[in-house]
Structure formats: C-alpha cells, structure tokens
C-alpha cells in the first residue's frame, strides 16, 4: 500500500516492484514506460487505489486514438484495486506528462478561509486501514453487512441505439451486487459494499479513473500537474470555488458576463462579494471590454472593490444568452486573463451540447459528425485546454448530459487548487453519493466505455440540434421580425430574444423593466412562461441595457414549442400596441 504523501519518485520506485506483463491491444503499439505499472493483490480493506496509469508519454491523439491508448494503458496496469475509502488522484490514471511545465501557484489569489483549511483528521486516519491484520475500532464506517441493498439493476441503452423505444425493446440490463469484487464476479472493480460506505471527498478511485481519462480525451490541459476531483454538481462546486478565491475582508470582487447565471449571482452576493458585468456580444464575453475595464479599474468608482482577480464565465451555450465563445474568442479571453492575472472559473455544463450550424430555410440540417473522432475534433477547445499557466478551474456536470439528479460532476484544475478544493469538500459534501457513483460507473465505464459515452454525447448534440431548430422555426413563424431578434445558439439549451424597446409607444417615458414586467405578466396570462432578462443582470443597481427574454428549447414538444412562441409573440404585440 502506498501512502498518498509519498513523493512521485518514491511511488515510482515502489511501483517498479510489481510489474504486470505489458499487454497491448491489436494495432496499438506498447511503448516503453519509465513509470512502471502496478497490479495490487486483492485487499478489500485497501484505502488507496492501485495506480493504474503510468505511461511515459503524453499521447497526442484525440477521439478513438486517445481511447485506444487509454485502454492499452489500462491493460498494462492490470486490474484496478480500490477498496472502501481508497484514496486516489488523477496522477494514478493519466498518461505521462513528462517534460511539461507545472502550473503556477495561486497563493495570492486564495482566500484566508481556504488557506486556513487543514486535512480532515478522520479521513487521514482512514489511511491506517491498509495495515494487514489491523482491527479498526477507530473509524465510524458501518459494516456493509447491515446495508439493506444486496443488488441494484437497471436497464440502459445499448450504443448507438439510444432512443427510449430502443432502450425498452433492446436495452441492456446491468446489475451490481454487494460483494461483486470480493466474490470475483466478472471483472468487477466496484460494488455496493465499497460504493455505499464512506469514501474520500475526491469521490471513488473507480470514477476518478474514468473521469481523468475522459478529461484527457477531451481537454488535455497543457501542464503537468492537472487533476480532477469529483463534485456534487457545479452548483456546489462553484460555491466552494468562490469561497476558495474570494475574501470580503480583502474587498474582493469578481467579473462575469453582463448577464450571468442567476444562481451563480445569488451565490456570490451573500458572500459580500461584488460581481461586475463585462460587455457581451453574439459570442459572449468581449475580451477588449474586459481588458479596458481592468486596465482602468478605480476602486473609488467601484464602491471600494479592488481590481478583480477572478473571472466566472460560461463559455458554451451561456446561461442565459445562449452565446458560445469561439476558439479565437477563448484565446483572446485567456490572454487578457494572463495580462491581468485573473483566475478563471470555467463553468461548462453545456459544453457537450454543441450543435450543428443553423441554416434558415434549409430543407435539411448539415450532417452531424460521422463518428466519435469527428465529434471530438468538432468541439470548441475548452479554456482549460489552452491553460498553460494552470489558471483555469473547469467545472463539468453530468446534469445536462445524463441526469440532473445524479448530483455528480467534476472539476479540472492544478494540483494545488484541487487539493484546496478537496480540503473544503471533506468538511462540506464529502463528495458525491455512492449510489450515483456506482450507477454511473456501471453505465459509463463498464457498459458503454469511453467510446459509447462519446456516442451518447454525439447523439445528444443531434437531439438538441433538432429541438433548437424547432424553436427557431416557431420564432420565424410567430414573432414580428422587426421587433424581436435572436442569434441561433451554437450550444446549450437557451435562446435569448431581444425586443427592440425603442419602438415601444412609451419608450423613453417608461422604465424598460416596467415594460419587461408587463410582457412577462401578459405571457403568464396567455399561458407561457419565459424568463425575464432582468433576472440575470449582473449589476442589479444598473439600469437594464435592453429588453430581453430567455427561452429554452430543452423541454417542450414541437407542438407546444410553436404554441408557446405564438403566445409570447402575442404578449409582445399587445404591449407594443400591434395587431
């Protein structure tokens, strides 16, 4: 067993003692490795996962090639052995990052609260459970014999047949038992006795392996010491991150889009932190505007707030505007962040809901990616993929791509930031639910695998393209184009409708917010709910810069969508005195 405090070199030396035969998949060359691979003998009270991935190169392929490399690496590493409360980190599972620089340190950016956090004593004590023959009277871990769950079963789609009908007819039934690992059932590496006990705040080693590999396929942060840590979803992750970086006693403030995710704003405000809005356009946050704002920052003009050192942004399918930052836009934002030494909180729940371009009036939409390879390379690069400094913490969530009730997501950031996050999670959520982890592991890792999951995501993109196109068709049919305008969203589930308030009969005499309220109430009377732009305004004490409404194409059926937009159109016309 290897205590987590060991240095990488000591760990490497230890790993060399247990080397399984190198196995390579057909067509995948096995490369010589400096860090040796390790298969642990089964030990079900293990408190540290057996490191599985230690290949001495950072593979350059994306999509299938990267997946092939990962599977070859897994085969060489041997079976993952991770028992109850096993400690794990991404370094155990990712490819070598030899020769890559380490992330910068963020000591001056962290809050006093975050810097004061010590490791959780009881979680640390769990490390001693690995001692052979040790009888534990120390920890409060219940025995699995009193867990009232012997087996869980579920029916899930068989890739690439993802529809509800296909799942009902020919889906796979997968099961997980309490002692699958102990009893050597199949190739089980995870079971209910492990998943349903207490774990580490990083989440289980089993899911850590899958998510680290997935991050490697999609994001590949360009520095050595990146890690992932599971979360209870991005809402909780953001709350922790804000408290890690922002200190009211320091007069800290945060930048975000001019219109931002209302829950994020509601998380910031009670911390005594001011949020400032950066101008946006059709691609979201405008880097020149951010640069100008930061270059001319004067605390006296900003209610005493010191120059922001944190940016919160939603680069893909932004909530509420639906805007997606293109690759060049992201690079420009990153450069401004470097210039002003900003740490970036990248919130990406809609990243995988990137859609096919919209062509008004086209009989058929452009064809979707033909395969996983094309899908992965079609994705706009994440900020964390261009993060040479380690100044980005990306938040991923399974809420929009699998199920919101999973309450499971993950962050990707530097070792220092993940360690601080982990210390906070130890005394807050303790990481995601074991039920979620074991169900998702069964689905994503054991049943679908990386390729099946990417096929699922690709399919979701096709579904959302269809839904978006229905909303756009409804808007084209029912809305007065001289009054209401929109940009077809490239990702996510939201569309932002701009109403030209200057054409209102009482423009200039009445507050925009007043007109917004009138239209909103009339929408409710007409039987449609839309979200008011003012709900998302970052700086609430500023006048509304325009008349906006957020709509979503995620949930309504085609017929309901058309009817809903027609009702919205009626409410706008009524307010503007149109027929």
Ligand X SMILES: Cc1ncc(COP(=O)(O)O)c(C=O)c1O
Q: Which residues, including other chains, have CB under 8 Å from residue 9's CB and lie 6 or more apart? A: none
| Residue with tokens 């009670």, as numbered in its chain | 270
Closest approach of ligand X to the CB of residue 314, in Å:
4
**Nearest-approach distance from CB 238 to ligand X, in angstroms:** 7
User: Could you tell me which stretch among 92-100, 232-240, 295-303, 541-549 binds ligand X (CB under 6 A)?
Assistant: 232-240
Q: Using the rule CB under 6 A, which residue among 221, 287, 349, 489 binds ligand X?
A: 349
Taking the CB of residue 437, how many other CB atoms lie within 10 A of it?
25
Residue list 270-289, contact with ligand X (CB under 6 A): none
Give the residue ranges of DSSP H helices in 120-248: 121-125, 164-170, 192-195, 205-218, 234-245
Tokens of 70: 């990962």
Of 419, 307, 296, 390, which is closest to residue 97 (Cα–Cα)? 390
State the DSSP code for 85: T
Q: Segment near ligand X (CB under 6 A), from 51-59, 217-225, 247-255, 396-404?
A: 396-404
Q: Is 203 in the site for ligand X (CB under 6 A)?
A: no
Interface residue with ligand X among 261, 486, 553, 568 (CB under 6 A) is: 261
Q: Which is nearer to ligand X, 54 or 401 (CB)?
A: 401
User: Is the CB of 224 or the CB of 345 nearer to ligand X?
Assistant: 345
Nearer to ligand X, 408 or 474 (CB): 408
Strand partners, 550: 496, 531
Tell whether residue 234 is a contact of ligand X (CB under 6 A).
yes
Decide: is 397 part of the binding site for ligand X (CB under 6 A): yes
Does residue number 347 form part of the binding site for ligand X (CB under 6 A)?
A: yes
| Residues comprising the chain, all counted | 579
Residue nearer to ligand X on the CB measure, 262 or 566:
262
**b/e for 367-392, b at 16 or more Cβ within 10 A?**
eebeebbebbeebbebbbbbbebbbb
The answer to the question of residue 489 lying near ligand X (CB under 6 A) is no
Taking CB under 6 A as the binding criterion, the range among 21-29, 122-130, 229-237, 434-442 that sits at the site for ligand X is 229-237
Helix (H, G, I), strand (E, B), or coil: what is residue 380? Answer: coil
Give residues with Cβ within 8 angstroms of 481, minimum separation 6. none
Closest approach of Cβ 203 to ligand X, in Å? 14
Alpha-carbon distance of 351 to 382, in angstroms, equals 8
Residue 456 or 576: which CB sits closer to ligand X? 456
Number of chain positions touching ligand X (CB under 6 A): 12
Helix (H) or strand (E) holding 176: strand 172-177
Q: Does 235 bind ligand X (CB under 6 A)?
A: yes
Residue whose CB is less far from ligand X, 92 or 401: 401
Minimum CB distance to ligand X smaller for 8 or for 403? 403
Q: Which is nearer to ligand X, 95 or 409 (CB)?
A: 409
DSSP helix/strand/coil, 523: helix
Q: Which two tokens mark 500? A: 């030209």
Q: At what angle do helices 558-575 and 512-526 cross, to 10 degrees?
A: 130
Q: Which H or E element spans position 572?
A: helix 558-575
Smallest gap from residue 87 Cβ to ligand X (A)? 24
Residue 409 within binding range of ligand X, rule CB under 6 A: yes
Q: Which of 201, 206, 316, 319 binds ligand X (CB under 6 A)?
A: 319
- Residues with Cβ within 8 Å of residue 326, at least 6 apart in sequence: 283, 380
Instruction: Work out how close the CB of 395 gets to ligand X at its nearest, in angstroms, rounded to a whole number.
Output: 7
Whether 241 contacts 345, CB under 8 Å: yes
Query: In the complex, what is the shortest distance from the CB of residue 428 to ligand X, in angstroms, rounded to a whole number?
Result: 14
Residue choice 314, 393, 425, 547 for contact with ligand X (CB under 6 A):
314
Minimum CB distance to ligand X, residue 234 (Å) = 4
Rounded Cα gap, residues 138 and 246, in angstroms: 36
Q: Site residues (CB under 6 A) for ligand X?
A: 233-235, 261, 314, 319, 347, 349, 397, 399, 404, 409
């Amino acid at each position: 067993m290897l205590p987590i405090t060991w240095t990488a070199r000591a760990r490497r030396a230890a790993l060399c003692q247990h080397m399984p035969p190198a196995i390579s998949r057909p067509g995948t060359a096995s490369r010589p490795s400096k860090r040796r691979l390790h298969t642990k003998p089964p030990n079900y009270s293990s408190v540290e996962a057996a490191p599985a991935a230690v290949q001495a190169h950072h593979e350059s392929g994306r999509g299938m090639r990267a997946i092939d490399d990962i599977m070859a690496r897994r085969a060489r590493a041997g079976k993952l052995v991770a028992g109850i409360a096993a400690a794990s980190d991404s370094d155990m599972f990712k490819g070598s990052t030899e020769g890559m620089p380490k992330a910068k340190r963020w000591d001056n950016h962290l809050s006093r609260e975050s810097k004061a956090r010590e490791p959780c004593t009881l979680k640390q004590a769990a490390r001693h459970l690995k001692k052979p023959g040790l009888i534990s009277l120390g920890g409060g871990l219940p025995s699995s014999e009193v867990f009232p769950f012997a087996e869980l079963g579920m029916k899930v789609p068989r890739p690439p047949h993802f529809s509800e009908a296909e799942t009902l007819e020919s889906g796979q039934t997968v099961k997980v038992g309490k002692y699958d690992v102990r009893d050597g059932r199949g190739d089980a590496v995870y079971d209910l006795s492990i998943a349903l006990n207490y774990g580490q705040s990083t989440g289980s080693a089993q899911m850590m392996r899958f998510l680290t590999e997935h991050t490697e396929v999609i994001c590949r942060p360009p520095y050595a010491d990146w890690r992932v840590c599971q979360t209870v979803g991005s809402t909780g992750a953001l709350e922790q991150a804000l408290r890690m970086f922002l200190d009211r006693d320091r007069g800290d403030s945060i930048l975000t889009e001019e219109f931002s995710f209302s829950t994020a704003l509601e998380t910031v405000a009670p911390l005594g932190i001011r949020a400032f809005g950066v101008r946006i356009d059709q691609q979201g946050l405008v880097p020149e505007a951010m640069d100008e704002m930061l270059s001319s920052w004067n605390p006296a003009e900003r209610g005493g707030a010191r120059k922001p050192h944190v940016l919160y942004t939603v680069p893909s399918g932004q909530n509420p505007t639906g805007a997606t930052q293109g690759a060049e836009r992201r690079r420009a934002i990153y450069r401004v962040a470097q210039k002003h030494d900003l740490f970036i909180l990248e919130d990406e729940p809609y990243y995988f809901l990137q859609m096919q371009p919209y062509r008004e009036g086209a009989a058929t939409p452009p064809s979707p990616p033909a395969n996983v390879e094309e899908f992965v390379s079609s994705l706009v690069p994440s900020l964390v993929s261009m993060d040479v400094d380690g100044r980005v913490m990306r938040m991923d969530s399974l809420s929009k791509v699998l199920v919101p009730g999973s309450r499971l997501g993950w962050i990707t950031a530097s070792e220092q930031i993940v360690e601080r996050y982990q210390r906070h999670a130890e005394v807050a959520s303790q990481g995601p639910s074991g039920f979620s982890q074991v169900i998702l592991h069964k689905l994503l890792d054991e049943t679908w695998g990386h390729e099946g999951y990417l096929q699922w995501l690709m399919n979701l993109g096709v579904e959302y393209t269809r839904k978006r196109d229905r909303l756009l068709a409804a808007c084209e049919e029912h809305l007065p184009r001289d009054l209401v305008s929109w940009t077809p969203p490239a990702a996510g589930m939201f569309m932002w409708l701009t109403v030209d308030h200057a054409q209102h009969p009482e423009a200039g005499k009445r507050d925009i917010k007043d007109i917004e309220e009138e239209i909103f109430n009339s929408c409710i009377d007409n039987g449609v709910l839309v979200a008011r732009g003012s709900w998302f305004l970052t700086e609430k004490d500023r006048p509304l810069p325009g008349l906006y409404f957020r709509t979503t194409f995620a949930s309504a059926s085609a017929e309901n969508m058309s009817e809903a937009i027609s009702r919205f159109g009626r409410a706008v016309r009524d307010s503007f005195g149109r027929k």
